[in-house]
Amino acid sequence: MQIAHSFLAILLGFIAIIGLTGTATALLKHFAPDMASEDGPVDPFTMAVHVGMSLVFSGLGGYITARFAQKNPIAHALMLALVVLLLTAFSTLQRKGKQPVYYLLISTTIPPLAVLAGGVLRLHQVGVLHW
């Protein structure tokens, strides 16, 4: 039963990230089509918006995973961070040559770190970490 609960906690965080990202992307495509285009060069403002969205949504996904984990919430957030890292790395390989290298590096490293930050935020909220 513990394994199923752990899996569901990680799945909930992942669904939150994917759901929020998909919704935000759909809204961008509808209201600002230039910002949602994946072809050609991207301007710095658009890159900042995408990095900001992934930062917020990944942090929320890490928080949700840690919130629903029964035991060791940071380990669950770490597992989600590894999944996110693998998926963002795969996505980066597909976008190689279409966007600047620094943007690809940032968009690969920020989401997993934000997931961990969301897990740490939950630990701080329950009183395990103090700063």
Summarised one tens digit per residue, pLDDT across range 116-131 is 999 999 999 988 777 7
Q: Which two tokens stand for residue 10?
A: 């990680």
Domain contains 110: yes
Domain contains 99: yes
**Contact at 8 Å (CB) between 114 and 62?**
yes
Domain contains 41: yes
* Domain count along the chain: 1
Domain contains 131: no
Domain contains 68: yes
Q: State pTM to two decimals.
A: 0.90
**What phi and psi, each to the nearest 5 degrees, are found at residue 99?**
-135, 160
DSSP secondary structure, 18-59, as one string:
HHHHHHHHHHHHHH-HHHH--SS---HHHHHHHHHHHHHHHH
Query: pLDDT tens, position by position, for the chain (131 residues)?
Result: 789 999 999 999 999 999 999 999 999 999 988 877 766 567 889 889 999 999 999 999 999 999 999 889 999 999 999 999 999 999 989 888 888 899 999 999 999 999 999 999 999 998 877 77
3-state secondary structure of 70: coil
Which residues make beta-bridge pairs with 96? 99
**Cα–Cα dist 78/49, whole Å:** 25
Domain contains 88: yes
Query: Which letter, b or e, does each residue of 36-73 get, where b requires 16 or more Cβ atoms within 10 Å of its Cβ?
Result: beeeeebeeebbebbbebbbebbbbbbbbbbbbbeeeb
Residue 33's domain spans which residues?
2-126
Domain contains 45: yes
**Cα–Cα dist 27/62, whole Å:** 23
**Contact at 8 Å (CB) between 108 and 100?**
no
